[in-house]
Amino acid sequence: MNISQAPRLPDRPFTLGEAQALGVSRDKLRSREFSGVSRNLYRPASWDFELRDAARALCVATPGAWISHTTAARLHELILPPWLSESNDLHLSKPRKLPGTRRSGIVGHTVVTLPGEVEFIDELRISVRSRTWLDLARTLPLYELICMGDQLIRIPRPEFEGRSEPFATLDQLRAMADRHKNLQGIVRAREALELMRVGADSGPETLMRLAMLDAGLPEPELQLKLWDGPKAPSADAGYSARRIALQYDGAHHLDEAQRHSDRRRDKAFGAAGWTVLVFTDEDLADHFQNAVLLIKQALRTSWVDPAIASGFTSSS
């Protein structure tokens, strides 16, 4: 066989069947060019771990199974706590009618699924985002589960995200929870559903809102606009009756263009007589304890608009 006829060697994890289809012999697979990963699964010796490639090969090698739990959350780019956000564990689910997964280094699950809870994306069978959220109710602490839920139900910005519909609605998540009443973690999932709100654009924004509720503050409004209109400045949260705007400026706000936009936003609120409180990653690090104190102080000293303050109470 000349060089032009040599088999094309895979550059990512692959199954024995895929190797044989490419004309790669078993002897070649035993060479130093490749490493055995698991039963009928191989990888190039020079391959650097890439989660999607590893998940794809695992799916191909395991008919009837799909990627789930933390692995699915990472591939869907869902919010995870730091201790899980870089986990390279491979979670694989199967229906209960099939034998459980017994592969080295693989976390296997046998579960009950219903139509619409697993999708096929680029050779990858994977649990849909809403089912992934429900599966992780057993693992994630309550507030982390709420953060992920808020991410699913937020209204996207089509100009930036290429979509106009949320990944799920609260009603859809409640319906899914109702379909799996015996799933481990279902009690925590239901508790999270009661605390989820549409409007948080990031995990820290959700955690700030929850810290406020824990401190006994009135529940803030989310995504407040200074006036009606598509180009109106907006606040992440706040109290329109008290003219208090709350902003969480994360790491991406350090970009100079973004900082300029943020200054214009805050000046617009200030010029309209609003108190603007801006919080950062330092406040996230202290669990918004200092932020809560500043918000309480602002509530005590703010002017109340009688036209929209009916029913507004504060325990501050």
- Report pLDDT digits (tens) over 257-286: 678 888 999 999 999 999 999 999 999 999
At 43, the pLDDT band (50, 70, 90 cuts) reads confident
Class of 199-316 in CATH: alpha beta
Amino acid 10: pLDDT:
65
Gyration radius from the chain CA atoms: 25
Amino acid 88: pLDDT:
85
Residue 5 clears pLDDT 60, i.e. is over it: no
Q: Mean pLDDT for the chain?
A: 87
At 60, the pLDDT band (50, 70, 90 cuts) reads confident
At 312, the pLDDT band (50, 70, 90 cuts) reads low
Question: Which residues have C-beta within 8 Å of that of residue 245, sequence separation ≥ 6?
Answer: 224, 235, 238, 266, 269, 274, 275, 276, 277
Token duo for residue 228: 């009606």
| Over residues 177-198, mean pLDDT | 97
CB 111 within 8 A of CB 93: yes
At 2, the pLDDT band (50, 70, 90 cuts) reads very low
Amino acid 12: pLDDT:
76
pLDDT in tens, 154-170: 999 888 888 999 999 99
| Over residues 229-234, mean pLDDT | 89
Nearest to 69 by CA among 41, 123, 12, 110: 110
Q: Quick one: what percent of the chain has pLDDT higher than 70?
A: 87
Residue 4 clears pLDDT 60, i.e. is over it: no
Q: Quick one: what percent of the chain has pLDDT higher than 90?
A: 61
Distances in Å between the Cα of 195 and the Cα atoms of 149, 153, 207, 219 are 9, 12, 11, 11
| Over residues 248-261, mean pLDDT | 74
Residue 33 clears pLDDT 80, i.e. is over it: no
Residue 314 clears pLDDT 50, i.e. is over it: no
Q: Where in the chain is the domain with CATH 3.40.960.10?
A: 199-316
